[in-house]
Amino acid sequence: MTKEYGQAPKSSKRKATSKKEAEKKAAIKKLWEMGELSWKLKGKQKDIYDNIVNAIDDVITILVSRRFGKSFVNCLRAVEVCLKTPDAIVKYACPKQKMVSTIIKPIMRLILKDCPDHLKPEWKSQDKVYAFPNGSEIQVAGTDNGNAENLRGGYANLLICDEAGFMDDLDYVIKSILLPTTDTTDGKLILTSTPNFKDPQHEFHEEYVFPAEAEGKLTKYTIYDSPMLTEAKIQKIIDRYPGGIDNPKFRCEYLCEIPRTTENTVIPEFSLMKDKIVIDEIETPHHFDGYVSCDVGFRDLTVVLFGYYDFMNAQLVITDELVMNGPEMTTDELAKRIREKEELRLFNVELNMPVAPYLRVMDNDLKLINDLARLHNMYFAATKKDNKEAQINQVRLWVQQGKLKIHERCTHLRYHIENAQWDKNRKGFLHLKDSLTGEIRGGHCDALDALIYLVRNVNEARNPFPEDFNEMKGPNVFKGPTKRKDSKLQELVNTIMNIKK
């Protein structure tokens, strides 16, 4: 039978296919030998991988939705490190010892499926170790029942805590067992997890997530970023929860939103209103009353807040903060920095000049108040401090009613107001952890105390605008006869309208 013109023989097709397969196998073999496995990742799994590989900080915190494949990314990166560096050690921790068999081993089998035999590691079940031919190891352990101690000692080039939000004694495992193994290697610690809905105050959240978020270094990947789910599957998951996307458990596990409101949360409204309260820039009104509020500390933080009351919009706007403590906290240095901030942040656009604060307040440090007045002509009033819970409720109402705006540069205030928790007697605030780099200090939420003083002392009734504001002015404007200064009617109107000369 004659072949149609232009039709390749079947043997040629088979040869072409075989050649492509051979080239593909050769390419895969070459990539394995180079220790480059990112081609196995899907969609935004590659973004997680890039965050891990390019990390600058020693500790990297990543929140990831369920059904994303975060353990796959972790295992793949562990294998890469072992392939590229002879005698490398990767310590891999997960919440339960049984997860080694049910999660880690199946993922490793999938990753190693096309690994050349001369590179493939051996699984040593007794030691829970993947041993590579080049001397590298992936040491795996759960953190339950003291199993994390199996990761103690030696050195490590990479540390991974998979589902860190569900580990027992996480801070102990990290600081006493894992991190000391990187002291001589400059190894990184990778913390990946879905938030813990049952325990919003888990160490993972309070020690690592919230501080990283405050510094703008927290990475999140939600269900909508998942390469594993189609739109139909996502909708099927949403329909599983009463209330759909508004269900708190769905929002926690699939949108990575940690419940912030517990019975001990001081300002629970802030997390709900944060997007409306925190601002980038806002147009300063033509006239305003400036305020400065200070909570004094030496071992604790001294926090000074700068802002103004926007009379027209009935809003308190916090424009900046000053944070000091320790040896730098001297009267002279405090006065100098307050002056600098006042000139920068309390500025009248219309007059093109700084405005003296209408009121400065601080807690009852009478010696400091006297020194600032006597030595620097800087006058503070001592605020009342009674009925603290009632004053906090006033702040909560202002937050709920949208009467408070905070510039995003006020990182300490935002961190303190969002994460402050009552102590057991509801008399003060629990100690809040510093951020991992120390850029944002926690302390006893001193910035929140400064805000409480400020809200307490704002004079909402005072009108800072002059009588002739918004009137037409100029040489060609006829204004009519001058009003009688002794007019009782005008005096009454002024009193009702709260207009002052």
Answer yes or no: do 121 and 179 share one domain.
Answer: yes
Token code pair at residue 344: 């920068």
pLDDT given at position 200: 86
Going 244 to 250 to 255 to 260, the CA torsion angle's sign is positive
Answer yes or no: do 244 and 349 share one domain.
Answer: no
**Is residue 3 in some structural domain?**
no
Residue ending a domain, choose from 225, 259, 293: 259
Q: Residue 235 contacts by C-beta under 8 Å, 6 or more apart in sequence? A: none
Count of the separate structural domains present in the chain? 2
Could you tell me the CATH number of the domain that includes residue 427? Answer: 3.30.420.280
Answer yes or no: do 96 and 158 share one domain.
Answer: yes
Q: How many CB atoms lie within 10 A of CB 257?
A: 17
Answer yes or no: do 253 and 284 share one domain.
Answer: no
Q: Residue 269 contacts by C-beta under 8 Å, 6 or more apart in sequence? A: 396, 399, 400
Residue the block writes with tokens 């394995």: 32
**Is residue 483 in some structural domain?**
no
DSSP codes joined into one string, 291-344: EEEEE--SSS-EEEEEEEEETTTTEEEEEEEEEE-GGG--HHHHHHHHHHHHHH
**Is residue 226 in some structural domain?**
yes
**Is residue 268 in some structural domain?**
no
* Separation in Å, CA 111 to CA 77, 341, 446: 11, 56, 49
**Is residue 466 in some structural domain?**
no
Could you tell me the CATH number of the domain that includes residue 128? Answer: 3.40.50.300
Task: For residues 465-484, give the mean pLDDT.
Answer: 63
Look up the domain containing 436 and give its range. Answer: 273-457
Pairing of strands 219-221, 302-310: unpaired
**Is residue 501 in some structural domain?**
no
Answer yes or no: do 384 and 453 share one domain.
Answer: yes
pLDDT given at position 9: 65
Answer yes or no: do 343 and 397 share one domain.
Answer: yes
- What are the pLDDT digits (tens) for 404-418? 999 999 999 999 999
- What are the pLDDT digits (tens) for 220-237? 999 999 988 899 999 999
**Is residue 491 in some structural domain?**
no
3-class secondary-structure state, position 249 = helix
Pick the range with the lowest mean pLDDT from 38-52, 371-385, 455-469, 479-493.
479-493
Answer yes or no: do 287 and 174 share one domain.
Answer: no
Answer yes or no: do 239 and 133 share one domain.
Answer: yes
**Residue 67 — left, alpha, or beta (φ > 0 → left; ψ -120 to 50 → alpha)?**
left
Answer yes or no: do 155 and 240 share one domain.
Answer: yes
Residue the block writes with tokens 């049910």: 102
Token code pair at residue 15: 């040869």
The answer to whether 226 and 65 have CB atoms below 8 angstroms apart is yes
Residue ending a domain, choose from 226, 259, 292: 259
pLDDT given at position 501: 47
Answer yes or no: do 91 and 226 share one domain.
Answer: yes
**Is residue 17 in some structural domain?**
no
In Å, how far from its chain's centre is CA 323?
A: 19
Q: Is 0.85 surpassed by the pTM of this model?
A: no
Answer yes or no: do 88 and 227 share one domain.
Answer: yes
Pick the range with the lowest mean pLDDT from 50-59, 330-339, 490-499.
490-499
